Structure 1
Amino acid sequence: MFLSNFSKILRCKSSLIIGHPAADRITRKWHKKAIPVKWGKPGMGWTKLNFDGSCKVRTGNASIGGICRNHRAEFMLGYAGPIGRRTSTVAELAALQRGLELVLENGWYDVWLEGDAKSLVEIIVQRKLVRCKEVQKHVDDINLMIPELNNCIITHIYREGNRAADKLAQIGHQLQKPCIWRQSPPDEVLKIVREDAEGKVVLRTR
C-alpha cells in the first residue's frame, strides 16, 4: 500500500504531506527527455480527489472541475461548473474548496487531495499568507475544512496525471450552472478514468 511508509504520520488528525512518493516528483532541473507521468490510486479506505481550475485568457471566464475515486480507481463523484470572471489561482482554489465540500457532505474522511498547481499546493500545505484578499479567503476556508477530515494528504502532480479533473474543468466552461455526476462521469471523462485505472503512462514533453 502506498501509505505504508507514512503510517505513523497518518495517525495524526489531518496530516498534510507534500512531495508524497506516490506523486510524480517535482524537479528544478531541465529535462531533455520526456517525463513519464501517471495517476496513482489511493490506499484502501481512502478517497482521492483530483481538482483543477481553468481560466480563459481572452475573456477571463473561469471554471472548476474535480473527481473523486476510490482505491480501485472507481468513479465516486465528479463536479464541474462556471464561476464567472476569476484568475487562474482563484479557479484552482475554488475547485479544491468545492471538492472538499462534497467530500465532507458524503462522509469521506480519509482523503488524498491532488492538483497540478504546485504553488497552490505549497500555499495550502505551508499555510502561506497571500496579498490578494479573494485568494486568502479561499485559503482560509480550505484550512477550516481540512481539520474536519481524519487524515489528509495533499500533493502536486503534473497536468498529464490530472487529466480527468482537467477535462471536467474544461467542461465547466460549457455549462450554464454547476453540475455534479454521481453515477458515471461524462463520456470523455469516463475514457480517462478507465485509462487511469489501467495505469496508462502519459509522457510530459514540456
Structure 2
Amino acid sequence: MGIIVSDQPRCSSPVVIWRKPPPGWVKFGSARGNLGAAGGGGVCRGERSEFLFAFHSGYGVDSDTRAELLANHDGLQHCLLLGYPNILVEFDSLLVINFLLGRAVPGWKWKCWIDRINHLSKSRNIKFVHTFREGNGPADALPKLGREGQRMTLVLLHADLLPTVRGLLFLDRLSLGSVRRGT
C-alpha cells in the first residue's frame, strides 16, 4: 500500500482593495442585511477618499435583494440631494447590477425599485459597478444597525460614525485590503 501525493492547486484568497473614485466623482457603496429583518446602509466618499456621508435604515422583513435595492435607492437620493453630480455606485450584488443594466429581467417584487433607481440615474452622470463585499467594508458594517429597527439615520460627521466604521474607513484610506474568502 503506497501513499499517493498529488499536486492539488491551492485555494487562493485574493485581497480586495477599495479604490477611490476618479477626480470630480464621488463613490457610493451600500450593503444590505439578510433574509428576515432586513436593513441597509451605505457610505459615500470623495476623490481623496474623504468621508462625505453615511446612512443606515431598517426595511422590515424582506429579502436581501430588495434590501440592496432600497439601500442603493436611498443612497442615490442622498447623493443627489447633497448635490453630487458624478456618482459611482458600487453594488456587491451582481444580480442587481445585471437588473439595472438590462442584462437580466427582475421579478415583479423588485421591478418597481429597479425602475426607481433607473429614473434617479436618468440624465445624470451615474455609473453602476460591481465590487466584492470585502471591497466595501465600511458600508457592510451599517445594515445591522438598520436591522435593529432604527429608522433612516443620516450621518454627516465622521466623528458621529461608529468606531468600527471609522476604523474601516481609515484602513481603506491606507489601501489596506480585505481577504476575499470562499473563492
Same fold (TM over 0.5): yes
Letter in 2 for 1:62: A
Equivalent runs, 1:47-196 vs 2, <5 Å: 47-56=26-35, 60-126=36-102, 128-131=104-107, 133-149=108-124, 151-184=125-158, 185-196=161-172
Cα deviation code 1:130-188 (max 9, x no counterpart): 22x23101001001000142x22211111111111110112222342110100112221
Tell me the CA shift for residue 121 of structure 1: 1.0
Is residue 60–residue 147 contact of structure 2 (8 Å, CA) maintained in 1? no
Tell me the CA shift for residue 66 of structure 1: 0.4
Q: Which of the two has higher C-alpha Rg?
A: 2
Counterparts of 2:103 and 2:181, CA distance in 1: 31
Q: Secondary structure of 2:142's match?
A: helix
Tell me the CA shift for residue 93 of structure 1: 0.3
Letter in 1 for 2:131: I
Tell me the CA shift for residue 126 of structure 1: 2.2
Structure 2: state its 5+ residue gaps. 1-8
Counterparts of 2:123 and 2:156, CA distance in 1: 23
**Alignment pair present for 1:33 and 2:22:** no
**Residue number in structure 1 paired with 2:173:** 197
Counterparts of 2:121 and 2:10, CA distance in 1: 34
The percent identity for this pair of structures is 27
CA 1:189–1:31: 2 relative to 1, 3 Å: farther
Q: Secondary structure of 1:162's match?
A: helix
Letter in 1 for 2:84: W
Letter in 2 for 1:146: S
CA 1:85–1:31: 2 relative to 1, 3 Å: farther
TM-score (normalizing by structure 2): 0.88
CA 1:127–1:100: 2 relative to 1, 3 Å: farther
Letter in 2 for 1:173: R
Letter in 2 for 1:85: V
